[in-house]
Each structure stands twice: as C-alpha cells, then as structure tokens.
Amino acid sequence: MNSETKKSTLIALGQFFKESLNYNNDSAYLFENKILEQEIIMASKFIETAYRENGWFTKDSVMAVYAAWANSLEKNKVEQWLVNYNLETNKNHKVGVIMAGNLPLVGLHDALCVIISGNILHAKLSSKDRSLMLLVLKVIKKIIPNADQVQIVEQLKDVDGLIATGSDNSARYFDYYFKDKKRIIRKNRTSVAVLRGEESEDDLLGLSHDIFRHFGLGCRNVTKLYLPKGYDLDIVFKALFHYQEIGNHNKYANNYDYNKAVYLLSQAELIENGFLLMKEDEGIHSPVGVLFYEFYDNMEDVKRVIENLKDELQCVVSNEDLPQRVSFGKAQSPELWDYADGIDTIEFLLN
C-alpha cells in the first residue's frame, strides 16, 4: 500500500464504526459502504450482545469505544497523525501483537500501526475480547489491497518483532521468550488526577468519566486523586453521584463488596457512598470499586511525585502543567498520536 491507500483504509474503517452506531436494524437503511454491509449489521448487534463474551463489555462501554474510533479516524485526524511519517515504503516484517482484553478493542491501535507501517500483522487475540476484534480485523482484511497482511494466530512463531500488553508478570515472560526480537513490552500502568480545588463543574463531571468509564479497568482510568490539604471530599462525591447505577452491575458490585470486606477486616478507614470506596493511601493502583486519594501541601511536591512515578503512569488528569497531562474528561479519549507509554509505535515499526 502507498501512503494514500493507507490513509483511505483508516478513513473507511472510521466510517465502518460510524455506520455501526447509526444502523438501527431498519431494512430501509442505506449503507454508505455496501461491501461492509454484513459486518456493519454484525457490529451493531455486538453493541447489545458483547457482554455475553465479557461481562464488563456493556452496551455503554462498546458504544463509547465505537464512537471514539469513529471520531479518531476522521480524515483530518488521520492526516494529522500520519503527516510526519514516510509511509511510501513497506517493511513486510512479521510483527506479532499480543493483545489485552480488559477494554473493548484495546489492541486495535497497535494492529493499525503494524498495518500502516507496511508490516505483516500476526495478531494473538485475547479470549476476553475475541469476537469484537475478529470482526474488526475481518473488516480490515476486506478493505486493504492484500488481505494476507493480517494474520490471526494462536501462537507467535517466526516473528521479526513484537508488541505485547499484559501484567508485570507476563511482561517478564515476554521479555525472556522474545529476548532476541525487537519489541515493545507494556506493563501495568494507571492514571491519576491532580486537583487544585478550583475546578469547574464541567471539570469534575469529566473527572467522573475518567474514573468510571469502562468500570475503571483501563490504564488510562484515574485510580488516585491528589488533593490540596483541606479539600472537601463531598465535592468529589457529588460530582461522581450520577454514576451511582454502576453499583448495579454484578461484576462491579462483587468487586466493591469484596474490597470493602477486606478493608474493614484490616480496620482501614474508608469513606463510601454505596458504589465507591475512597481510601487515603500512598499507592496509585487502587482496585475496582476503590479510589485512592492523598493530600498535598504544595504543587511542587506533587510534581516531584509525578516525576518519580512516570514509569507507572499512563496519563495525569489536571489543569496544571504536568508531565503526561490530559484535560478533565479526556483520559479515555486519546488521539491517534497519543501512544501508550509514550513510545511512538509507528516510528518503532518503521525502523
């Protein structure tokens, strides 16, 4: 593929996501992309049924991911993303991608980077996100000139390079097993928010999405708040209250109840509102249903903490000028050029 074909492929994929959201099981619906008609119908059904394969993949969660990809793959954003790369040559290396399954389609960005760089994708799918990803890869195979550029494999053999996402334990295994390969190995990361106490209602509403979107399972979800000393926690609880229905989700409720019991047995001090536990803690990796917080005296102290934690953080939600900063409400809406762990995946693949 030349660079223009690569761009048009991404734009067509964005249109697929857009139509999957718009299709309403109407026999009179006019498909803009006729060759993807059956895939669009199937994708629209997955919005309602994905939870059967993974109980965390609710309708709202899948729709949010579809909408994010439809927005990201618009023509102007695709061009802005790819303008700085020389994509006329194709490397044709076999690149394995071991995908995570904590969020819907969480491995798609890596897959697209491999394809756009002109390499051959060997995708090892997660059992927790198999059906959604299989369908999207099927769509890609239909709209690229060479369908063999996308391979779905159960084992990675004879690959030239690797991109893998997993836990710290699995990362050690990947590093050892693929020690002779060029590789990007991603470990556990999380995100935090730094408040000044001057945030607007819109900022705090955005913070609630950063905390609760996808039940807090992603590395871009906020799991820890840094608050100025004396901050009224009721302000946070009020902003989060419109997410109270999350407590009715069976898997989330089970995590909430379990963590509450563990903390109470250890006599930990907790603040709760029926669907979220808040615990003052120096850690940053809070479990599902729990939000850690910590008070600070001055912003310089926070900056030093953030700098020391940079290898554990994916992003920092704040209005302050901090490393890895994103605006409130944007943690789960990365742009195409917002690479995981700050590593330029296309640059890695081109070189």
Radius of gyration of the chain (CA): 21
3-state per-residue secondary structure call for the chain: CCHHHHHHHHHHHHHHHHHHHHCCCCCCCCCCCHHHHHHHHHHHHHHHHHHHCCCCCCHHHHHHHHHHHHHHCCHHHHHHHHCCCCCCCCCCCEEEEECCCCCCCCCHHHHHHHHHCCCEEEEECCHHHHHHHHHHHHHHHHHCCCHHHEEECCCCCCCCEEEEECCHHHHHHHHHHCCCCEEEEECCCEEEEECCCCCCHHHHHHHHHHHHHHHHCCCCCEEEEEEECCCCHHHHHHHHHHHHHHHHCHHHHHHHHHHHHHHHHCCCCCEECCCCEEEECCCCCCCCCEEEEEEECCHHHHHHHHHHCCCCEEEEEECCCCCCEECCCCCCCCCCCCCHHHCCHHHHHHC
Q: What pLDDT was estimated at residue 1?
A: 86
C-alpha distances (whole Å) from 39 to each of 19, 30, 63, 103, 264 are 10, 14, 16, 21, 49
Spatial separation of the C-alpha atoms in residues 191 and 313, rounded to whole Å: 5
Percent of the chain with pLDDT over 70: 99
Domains of the chain: 3-188 (3.40.605.10), 190-326 (3.40.309.10)
| Per-residue pLDDT reduced to its tens digit, 324-335 | 999 999 999 999
Lowest mean pLDDT among 64-78, 169-183, 302-316: 169-183
Closest by CA to 190, choosing from 161, 167, 169, is: 167
Q: What is the structure's pLDDT at 107?
A: 96
Tokens of 93: 């290396």
pTM here is: 0.93
Res 302: pLDDT? 95
Pairing of strands 290-296, 190-194: unpaired
pLDDT at 351: 86
pLDDT (0 to 100) of residue 34: 83
Query: Do residues 152 and 173 make contact, with C-beta atoms less than 8 angstroms apart?
Result: no
How many C-beta atoms lie closer than 10 Å to residue 298's C-beta?
Answer: 9
Does residue 313 register a pLDDT over 80?
yes
Helix axes 130-143, 3-22, angle to 10 degrees: 130
pLDDT digits 0-9 by tens, 209-250: 999 999 999 999 999 999 999 999 999 999 999 999 999 999
Q: How far apart are CA 56 and CA 250, in angstroms?
A: 9
**What's the mean pLDDT in 49-72?**
96
pLDDT at position 167: 84
Q: What is the pLDDT of residue 27?
A: 65
Calpha distance 98→265 (Å, rounded): 38
Give per-residue pLDDT as tens, 105-117: 999 999 999 999 9
CA distance 130 to 266: 39
